[in-house]
Chain A
Amino acid sequence: KAGVTQTPRYLIKTRGQQVTLSCSPISGHRSVSWYQQTPGQGLQFLFEYFSETQRNKGNFPGRFSGRQFSNSRSEMNVSTLELGDSALYLCASSPLAGVRGNEQFFGPGTRLTVL
């Protein structure tokens, strides 16, 4: 079974631009979660999608948004980029959502650099 894939792997943008990151979950997995990893803040939960619906959201400004398609693929968008948005963005998939202890399988991440 193929793992979680994320595209692109690396991205360089300038302040004020917007960016869209893509995540394809493991086949059969319907839940996709997004995390931001920075040296200062560590790993922080962004949001979770299941069956095209956002189920849970972390404490991030409205510039961060996401969606999930009927094939479970997910995209996250960051508008009006700021220098502080530079981070590794990780996507994780799991078979179900809202199930405590559900193991999440992570992708390799997209490293976003904002100049």
Chain B
Amino acid sequence: AQKVTQAQTEISVVEKEDVTLDCVYETRDTTYYLFWYKQPPSGELVFLIRRNSFDEQNEISGRYSWNFQKSTSSFNFTITASQVVDSAVYFCALQGAQKLVFGQGTRLTINP
């Protein structure tokens, strides 16, 4: 069975602080993909990143960075110098052999 755990239900920080969203996954598949999606108040899920199980290279995109560690089954997401526009619910997701499985999401609030 596949499972994604986002232990942080809600995080609230002040603008310009760095914040890390945790994601831990479980799967028996040797080939799988990990994703992060952002869901702003409008409801639409916005794709942020995809990483396959054979690529443990960390990635940086502007203020966003992702740390994939297979040894701890984690795929954490860090926002540097957070901004109010980063406020949203963030979902980590896992796709093994079949369907996409989402974590419960982390509601991130950036206060001015």
| A positions within 8 Å CB-CB of B | 33, 42-45, 48, 56, 58, 88, 90, 92, 100-101, 103-109, 111
Contacts and interface: CB of A to CB of B under 8 A. Distances in A.
A88 B47 contact: no
Majority DSSP secondary structure for residues of A touching B: strand
Contact of A42 (B37, B97, B105): B105
B47 A58 contact: no
Contacts of A103: 47, 50
Contacts of A88: 43
Interface residues of B, number: 24
A19 to B, nearest CB: 18
Interface in B39-81: 42-47, 50, 52
Contact of A105 (B42, B47, B96): B47
A100 B101 contact: no
A43 B91 contact: yes
Contacts of A45: 99-101
B28 to A, nearest CB: 15
